[in-house]
Amino acid sequence: MLECALCNLTPQDKKWMLYENNDWIVFLADKQDYIGRCMVVCQEHCQSISDLNIEQWISLKVIMSSLEQMLKSELGATMFNWSCLMNDAYKADCACPHVHFHMRPRYAEPVIIKNREYRDDEFAHHYDNKKPAQITDEAADFLFAQLKEKISLYFS
Ligand SMILES: [Zn+2]
């Protein structure tokens, strides 16, 4: 799709790509409101999750399991909030939704990045959609490098 941003990702957009296979791309999200927040984007221009085929679902299940395992082991995440919203796509005159998921790790205990402690103050409640980024760009670069280095332990 020519007009779809997620079909036309630039090298800059892919700066924080952690993993990809034929069906999905995993990114560390630009906005680290919840530490380790990721985005999982369908490789194909699929407009609704009900349009995903069985192979895409199976592949997604493997990615979800790998990603959750990695963030539990590497950051101590307790559980995860997965959402597929796509509301922004409908702000345009000509809606062009492209299936993607937001994954927010949630923490019962503080998470430590570069010797600094971050708390999930909303833990056990709905995530705060207006929460600002919690870590500096430098700490986010560090987090990305840390996860990228370990990715092969969790994703085959
Ligand atoms: Zn698309």
Distance (Å, whole) CA 139 – CA 156: 27
- Distance from the CA of 93 to the center of ligand 1, in angstroms? 16
Residues within 5 Å of ion ligand 1, judged at the Cβ atom: 1, 4, 6-7, 45, 98
pLDDT of 2 strictly over 80: no
Query: What's the average model confidence in pLDDT over 75-87?
Result: 96
Taking CA atoms, 30 is separated from 47, 137, 148, in Å, by: 23, 9, 15
pLDDT of residue 15: 93
Distance, in Å, from the CA atom of 107 to the CA atom of 57, rounded to the nearest integer, reads 27
Cα 48 to middle of ligand 1, angstroms: 11
For the whole model, what pTM was predicted?
0.95
44 CA distance to ligand 1 middle (Å): 7
14: pLDDT confidence band, cut at 50, 70 and 90? very high
pLDDT confidence of residue 156: 84
Strand partners, 82: 103
What is the spatial distance between Cα 128 and Cα 73, in angstroms, rounded to a whole number? 24
How far is ligand 1, taken at its centre, from the CA of residue 113, in Å? 34
Cα–Cα distance between 106 and 11 in angstroms, integer? 29
Cα 139 to middle of ligand 1, angstroms: 30
pLDDT band at 1 (very low <50, low <70, confident <90, very high): confident
In the reported structure, the alpha carbon of residue 151 is separated from the centroid of ligand 1 by a whole-number distance in angstroms of 26
Q: How far is the CA of 89 from the centre of ligand 1 (A)?
A: 10
